[in-house]
Structure 1
Amino acid sequence: MTEDVITRKVGSVGRITLNRPKALNALNQDMVTAMVEALKAWREDDSVKAVVVDGAGEKGFCAGGDIRMLAESGQAGDDRAWTFWRDEYQLNTLIAEYPKPYVALIDGITMGGGVGVSIHGEFRVAGDRTMFAMPETGIGFHPDVGGAYFLPRLMGELGVWMGLTGARLKTADCIAAGVATHYVPTNSHPALIEALETETLDNDGEKVDAILERFAGDPGQSDLGMVQPLIDAAFEGDDLTVILNRLETADDAWSKAVLKILSGKSPTAVKVTLAALRKGADLSLQDVMVQDLRVSSRFLKEGSDFYEGVRAVIIDKDNAPNWSEPISDAEVAAYFEPLDADKEMTFLE
């Protein structure tokens, strides 16, 4: 048992509260294990009609995973990182395939691992504080947890822009992009949770959807529509050099700003991420999870950018990573090669 996540049944709802507010509810191994155990138990429990997930505190739904542990595991050469990723990706897949309505209240920072335990569920409810992003290239890593599945399926090249640059979506943007299904004002979330816990629900999601609509508000206007043509023009294709050249030659402030952002990311991570997103567009979610485990494992063994990113952002916090030189196409391809048979991705029954 762990106090870092609180699981309980209230009425006909299985409730999960991520409970590491000082760490912005970032996932650790115990939290992943507890969520898997609860979801598996409730899947077979006819008295549970829906699952509702939220985060403790006011700042974050879930800001990611235990990055420091992953880096330490890689440097020590042990299996902690591999086990965490396998279990986390099993959790993500369990959520995607869950037979009952799954409601994630993504109010506050929702990044990395937090995206993984929300985006694959049926309902993603944004609040006023929602900040949604996949910022992994900034630490020399890739948008895992199924990022290569959902990002390429967003409108146009929006997901590629997000995955490469770590762009942050606020509440209205989340609705416009489709990463959130509903907007409910933050101050209405307690009443929404109470309604879900006390009203009669069914397993097909219609009653849940009706309750969410009852509490839904107007998130306001998103700016995505204005920049979408620029995103689509810049990020088309699978050649990073061409994308960078387009941004460099475009004579507008947005392109200049995006080029500056991209230049601060790990060149290796950006190149591998672009390849992962293009491959993921044609893969099933399970196949993306297989790919994710391969690519994540390789980031621990190929080069030093992940360790340098963790040093710069998490440990020393100087935000001045010294990235390695860009890698070749052949080196990128090696990230996607199968792992040893006993290290390949497996899925829960």
Structure 2
Amino acid sequence: MYPAGKVIYSCHHSFPVVSSRLRSVFRLQRIQSHMMSSHADPEVLLEKVGRAGVITLNRPKVLNALNFTMIRQIYPQLKVCKKPFEHCFSSSRIKAGQKKAGHMIRLMDSVFLFVTLVLLHLQGVGLSVHGQFRVATEKTLFAMPETAIGLFPDVGGGYFLPRLQGKLGLFLALTGFRLKGRDVQRAGLATHFVESKKIQDLEEELVDMKSPSAEDVARVLDSYQEISTFSFVYRVFLSPPIRLFSSSSVEGIMQNLKADGSEFAKKQAETLSKMSPMSMKITYKQLKAGATLSLQEVLVMEYRLSQACMRGCDFYEGVRALLVDKDHNPKWNPSTLEEVSDHSVDQCFSSLGEKDLTF
């Protein structure tokens, strides 16, 4: 079971100051009492700790995946602050769906607009990757597995993935490959790596800061930073094999992989053969377009894509095969890359007119 995800932010309002040790004890008692209660647990716990507001995501059994109700509770808390976040700790996993897509996307935009943002226990993406500071531990797991369920890398994936080195972002987006621990930082998805046993001390030091600047936060984070010269990402993904993902089409990538014949190439070709052909082509176009767009422009694009996926059939089939029936045998439609026309892909990116997302 994962611990409750946490968002800690500094507001303009002055709150009573509580000692670090007592704060930790009181918060732990409150969380434990909530988790052990016989009635339905609240999914979001809201607290005031010193000068900081604390939002605790309380759905550990589902890795703190945000649902529509949680988003509606969190978003107003961010809006009431009269100056930007100073600290933010998060371990949520987010996916956009038809009902909550617009609210989720606006939440991503709010996170991005805050100047100084610290995220700890980087388990998910939406409340993590758009922050100025992002802290990973050896327990961190990063993946964008959406093409396996007929979707696309959402929560701003079209913005941050094409900005990774080489074709690493495209590789992660198409294959859903999992990055762990230090590799998350080496790939550029986290800005710092801190051992999990030091996270509580780091959290307390950050919360105790009175009026921290970006430089102050960076100085504290750097003091906890663990340096390592070894990296699986640098050794494998940024070496020759990743060049196999340099092509003008998804079909070209598949041809590169099959022609190469290495174990790496065979494994990736096998993985891609299981993904939704429509999703892979949407994702390819999404990342190509997103490389030159602002985050808000990308979020508008992704809202359009979310609605297109809701109108299609692959998303429902992917969820059925992987999450409901769990037979892991989705029947994609179209079933091959060649059957997915450029026109059908382009339609997914079309304006929704009056129904388009606005900020």
TM-score (norm 1): 0.85
Q: Which amino acid aligns with 1:102?
A: L
Q: Which amino acid aligns with 1:344?
A: D
Does 2:115 match 1:103? no
Aligned to 1:16: 55
Q: Which amino acid aligns with 1:329?
A: D
Aligned to 1:335: 348
Does 2:114 match 1:89? no
| Distance (whole Å) between structure 1 residues aligned to residue 241 and residue 105 of structure 2 | 29
Aligned to 1:76: none
Counting matched residue pairs gives 314
Does 2:179 match 1:209? no
Deviation of the 1:156 alpha carbon: 0.6
| Distance (whole Å) between structure 1 residues aligned to residue 51 and residue 157 of structure 2 | 31
SS of the residue corresponding to residue 124 of structure 1 reads strand
Deviation of the 1:122 alpha carbon: 1.0
How much is the aligned-residue C-alpha RMSD, in angstroms?
Answer: 1.8
The answer as to whether partners of 2:87 and 2:206 remain within 8 angstroms in 1 is no
Q: Which amino acid aligns with 1:313?
A: L
Q: Deviations over 1:51-91 (max 9, x none)?
A: 3223xxxxxx223337xxx4xxxxxxxxxx2x411111101
| Distance (whole Å) between structure 1 residues aligned to residue 247 and residue 43 of structure 2 | 42
SS of the residue corresponding to residue 279 of structure 2 reads helix
Aligned to 1:146: 156
Q: 1:13 to 1:210 in 2, by over 3 A?
A: farther
1:1-349 matches, within 5 Å, as: 3-42=42-81, 44=82, 50-54=86-90, 61-65=91-95, 70=97, 81=98, 83-99=99-115, 101-107=116-122, 110=123, 114-202=124-212, 204-218=213-227, 221-227=230-236, 228-302=238-312, 304-324=313-333, 325-326=335-336, 327-341=340-354, 343-347=355-359
The answer as to whether partners of 1:25 and 1:63 remain within 8 angstroms in 2 is yes
Deviation of the 1:130 alpha carbon: 0.4
Aligned to 2:4: none
The answer as to whether partners of 1:140 and 1:305 remain within 8 angstroms in 2 is yes
SS of the residue corresponding to residue 34 of structure 1 reads helix
Q: Which amino acid aligns with 1:339?
A: L
Deviation of the 1:167 alpha carbon: 1.1
Q: Which amino acid aligns with 1:28?
A: N
Deviation of the 1:219 alpha carbon: 5.1
Q: 1:51 to 1:9 in 2, by over 3 A?
A: farther
Q: Which amino acid aligns with 1:281?
A: A
Q: Which amino acid aligns with 1:246?
A: N
| Distance (whole Å) between structure 2 residues aligned to residue 183 and residue 201 of structure 1 | 24
Structure 1, unaligned runs of 5 or more: 55-60, 71-80
Deviation of the 1:231 alpha carbon: 4.6
Deviates more, 1:311-320 or 1:244-253: 311-320
SS of the residue corresponding to residue 94 of structure 1 reads helix
The answer as to whether partners of 1:158 and 1:231 remain within 8 angstroms in 2 is no
Q: Deviations over 1:231-280 (max 9, x none)?
A: 54111133111111000000311111111111111111011100111011
Aligned to 1:58: none
Q: Which amino acid aligns with 1:8?
A: E
Moved over 4 A (4+): none
| Distance (whole Å) between structure 2 residues aligned to residue 181 and residue 140 of structure 1 | 30
| Distance (whole Å) between structure 1 residues aligned to residue 328 and residue 94 of structure 2 | 18
Rg larger in structure: 2
| Distance (whole Å) between structure 2 residues aligned to residue 16 and residue 221 of structure 1 | 35
SS of the residue corresponding to residue 287 of structure 1 reads helix
SS of the residue corresponding to residue 16 of structure 1 reads strand
Deviation of the 1:194 alpha carbon: 0.9
| Distance (whole Å) between structure 1 residues aligned to residue 103 and residue 256 of structure 2 | 39
SS of the residue corresponding to residue 89 of structure 2 reads strand
**% identical aligned pairs:** 38
| Distance (whole Å) between structure 2 residues aligned to residue 11 and residue 153 of structure 1 | 37
TM-score (norm 2): 0.83
The answer as to whether partners of 2:95 and 2:154 remain within 8 angstroms in 1 is no
Q: 1:22 to 1:219 in 2, by over 3 A?
A: farther
